[in-house]
Amino acid sequence: MGIMPGTMLGVLGGGQLGRMFVQAAQQMGYAVTVLDPAPDSPAGRVADAFIRADYDDQAALEQLGQQCAAVTTEFENIPAASLHTLAQYCVVSPDADSVSIAQNRMREKQFLADGGFSVAPFTVISQPGDIAAPNIAQLLPGILKVSQFGYDGKGQIKVTNVTALQAAYGQLGHAVCVLEKFMPLKCEISVVVARGDDGKAVTFPVSENQHVNGILDVSIVPARISPLLASKVQDIACRVAEKLHYQGVLCVEFFVLHDDTLLINEIAPRPHNSGHYSIDACVTSQFEQQVRTLCGLPLGATAQHSAAVMVNLLGDVWRNGDPDWDLVLQHPAAKLYLYGKTDARPGRKMGHYTVLSSNTETALREALRIKQQLEPH
């Protein structure tokens, strides 16, 4: 018997992923408490209860744990110690061990490599002297990524030679970093997997992702890859979730090389930007699945009933004031989501829209047409 509707759930984090979790949970009859340090967070504004506090505030965590039957997270940079604290009071999913691996690139790469999963060649740079190591030349050109707290292209610098690597390491404050060899890609894809506490897992359709400046720009679903490759991707994602002993919703991002070799780029222990299409295009959304896995309910069907293309709306679109939303809303098969953020900074995710169609090419054509019209001129 799982945790039934009518119960209070909790979420650590007040961003748009938390907001969409709150809305999915409320639709199913749950109440939700959000804990976040910001006074006016997207999730906090729609929650049934809001605790304004830092993620390591012991009194706030105790309050959250006592008033909720189960708590989840909306992003991976929650201190693992906070999840351990909460686990004394209620169900916590994903657990601290899974999150501590996924929030640290060094541990994540090591976990994947040790588990027999293919990743791009890499090394850890924890002090300036490591740059002189003999294996460094084989990893250039490469991408230097800060090991902890990097996301959406932040904390990542492309480097072509040792001099550039030294400068980039200094730029990242000599933090512990991972240097990854730059791989020529055919495309980038991702898949969201949901795994219950009974070990049963389901995957969503594979998403083909296009990035600009390290930030997701467009997701095309289903991805334009062979069914065989898509099936392989889904299988690998399930094995990653199993190896992590994961309970919850997990996104696995892949690089596809020109010969269709698959390399895991990274894992995110939460719903993912590239899975937003599921709200409109699938029988069950990734956020409803997050509620189901958290509450120990049977997993929902993930079948896709429409081709979908999702486009992120970044703060740049607000450069000349509020965009003309009629450009999106006049399309009968376009779905608009605005996250309720007030400060439209360049590169900040402010919302998204998803265009549905009976086929991928039509959805993509319409989505890109809207995107072009929304661009500030």
pLDDT score of 196: 97
- Provide the CATH number for the domain formed by 8-92 in this structure: 3.40.50.20
pLDDT band for 151, please (50, 70, 90 cuts).
Answer: low
Where are the chain's structural domains? 8-92, 121-181, 185-374
| Average pLDDT of the residues in 46-66 | 98
Specify the fold of 185-374: D-amino Acid Aminotransferase; Chain A, domain 1 (3.30.470)
Do the domains spanning 121-181 and 185-374 agree at the CATH topology level? Answer: no
Which residues make Cβ contacts (< 8 Å) with residue 40, sequence separation at least 6?
Answer: 342
Establish how many alpha carbons lie within 13 A of residue 12's alpha carbon, considering only the half-sphere containing its beta carbon: 33
Q: pLDDT tens across 315-357, in order?
A: 999 999 999 999 999 999 999 999 999 899 999 999 999 999 9
At the second CATH level, the architecture of 121-181 is 2-Layer Sandwich (3.30)
**What is the DSSP track for 112-137?**
HHHTT-----EEEE-SGGGGGSTTTG
Indicate if the pLDDT at residue 150 is higher than 70.
Answer: no
pLDDT band for 155, please (50, 70, 90 cuts).
Answer: confident
Indicate if the pLDDT at residue 152 is higher than 70.
Answer: no
pLDDT band for 32, please (50, 70, 90 cuts).
Answer: very high
CB neighbours of residue 227 within 10 Å = 9
How far apart (Å, rounded) are the C-alpha atoms in residues 4 and 29? 9
Indicate if the pLDDT at residue 69 is higher than 90.
Answer: yes
Please answer whether residues 278 and 305 qualify as being in contact, where contact means their C-beta atoms are separated by less than 8 angstroms: no
Task: Write out the E strands in the chain.
Answer: 8-12, 31-36, 49-52, 70-73, 91-92, 122-125, 142-146, 156-159, 177-181, 185-195, 201-203, 207-212, 215-221, 248-257, 262-268, 307-314, 334-338, 349-357
Q: Is 159 exposed, middle or buried (0-12, 13-18, 19+ CB in 10 A)?
A: buried
Tokens of residue 31, six digits: 């109440």
CB neighbours of residue 304 within 10 Å = 15
Q: pLDDT tens across 231-280, in order?
A: 999 999 999 999 999 999 999 999 999 999 999 999 999 999 999 999 99
How far apart (Å, rounded) are the C-alpha atoms in residues 155 and 217? 18
Chain-centroid distance of CA 341 in Å reads 19
pTM score: 0.96
